[in-house]
Amino acid sequence: MEQHSELDTKIVLWEAALSKNLPAGELEDYFTRYISQNKKVSKEDIYRVVKQRNHACGLNFIPTSEAYKMFGQSLTLTDMVFDKQEDEEALLRSSLNGEKHFGVIKGSSTDDINHEQRDYLQKKGIDTSSIYQIDSINN
């Protein structure tokens, strides 16, 4: 949990630096290192919220990540998209078995996002290493 507290502090500092146009190079380096090692949120964690509980899922992104650059601080994921039925079945099995896998998730959102963002979410997807926290949102 200590690493999470440090991350929260760095995010607050990042937002303050951006709002005052201050240099944030050291923070950028921190976030880059954090993203490269981030195993906080798995694909199964998100699957349980969106598919098994049928809730929307708030995704909170790490500053400087690809997802942060594309969507900003957060995005509400309302459904997951799979290239093949077998991919969803495999994720269901791993979720039920308590496994954790990390990588790209694709989906859809009811947030007010533009066509480019919607296309990115559905076709390219978001790497779980960009996510530092998820929130279950009742539909």
Q: What is the pLDDT of residues 33-65, one digit of tens each?
A: 999 999 999 999 999 999 999 999 999 999 999
Task: Report yes or no on 25 lying in a domain.
Answer: no
Task: Report yes or no on 12 lying in a domain.
Answer: no
The percent of residues above 70 in pLDDT, for the chain, comes to 96
Task: Report yes or no on 122 lying in a domain.
Answer: yes
Give me the domain span that covers residue 62: 39-137
Q: Which residue has the higher pLDDT, 5 or 109?
A: 109
- Examine the pLDDT at 1 and tell me if it is beyond 90: no
Task: Report yes or no on 66 lying in a domain.
Answer: yes
Task: Report yes or no on 9 lying in a domain.
Answer: no
What would the mean pLDDT of 63-88 be, rounded to a whole number? 96
CB 47 within 8 A of CB 91: yes
- Examine the pLDDT at 78 and tell me if it is beyond 70: yes
Task: Report yes or no on 33 lying in a domain.
Answer: no
**45: buried, middle or exposed (CB in 10 Å: 19+, 13-18, 0-12)?**
middle
**Average pLDDT of every residue of the chain:** 92
What's residue 119's pLDDT? 97
CB 61 within 8 A of CB 130: yes
Task: Report yes or no on 24 lying in a domain.
Answer: no
- Examine the pLDDT at 2 and tell me if it is beyond 50: no
What's residue 18's pLDDT? 86
What would the mean pLDDT of 91-114 be, rounded to a whole number? 96
Domain count of the fold of the chain: 1
The percent of residues above 90 in pLDDT, for the chain, comes to 82
What separation in angstroms does the CA of 43 have from each of 30, 124, 127, 130? Answer: 24, 15, 9, 12
What's residue 3's pLDDT? 54
Task: Report yes or no on 80 lying in a domain.
Answer: yes
Q: Which residue has the higher pLDDT, 4 or 110?
A: 110
